[in-house]
């Protein structure tokens, strides 16, 4: 019988979504790393978009400290100012 530790040792990746699209990342990946490597956001300046995980805003300064968990729904969007 496989234990959680055995499964994690064999496949250390977790499933998350980025703007609704599924993607796999290594367990323990910070949000900032996903955004820096993903084709949808890699070419954008970090200040060009806002980010949220599971509907909660994640400030740009916290992206490197926010560790992703299995099942997280990451959303990035361009912040629009004005009225």
The answer for 20, left when phi > 0, alpha when psi is -120 to 50, beta otherwise, is left
Confidence of residue 7 (pLDDT cuts 50, 70, 90): very low
| Inter-residue contact 77 to 22 (CB < 8 Å) | no
The CATH number linked to 34 is 3.10.20.30
Note if the pTM is more than 0.95.
no
**Domain span holding position 37:** 4-77
Look up residue 2 and give its two tokens: 């496989």
Residue 11: per-residue pLDDT: 63
Average pLDDT, the chain: 88
Q: Tell me whether residue 82 is in a domain.
A: no
Q: Tell me whether residue 19 is in a domain.
A: yes
Bridge partners of 57, per DSSP, are 52
- Number of domains within the chain: 1
């Amino acid at each position: 019988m496989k234990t959680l530790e055995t499964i994690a040792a064999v496949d250390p990746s977790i499933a998350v979504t980025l703007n609704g699209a599924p993607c796999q990342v290594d367990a323990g990946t910070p949000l900032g790393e996903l955004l820096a490597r993903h084709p949808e956001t890699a070419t954008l300046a970090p200040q060009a978009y806002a980010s949220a995980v599971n509907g909660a805003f994640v400030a740009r300064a916290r992206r490197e400290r926010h560790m992703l968990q299995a099942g997280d729904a990451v959303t990035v969007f361009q912040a629009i100012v004005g009225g």
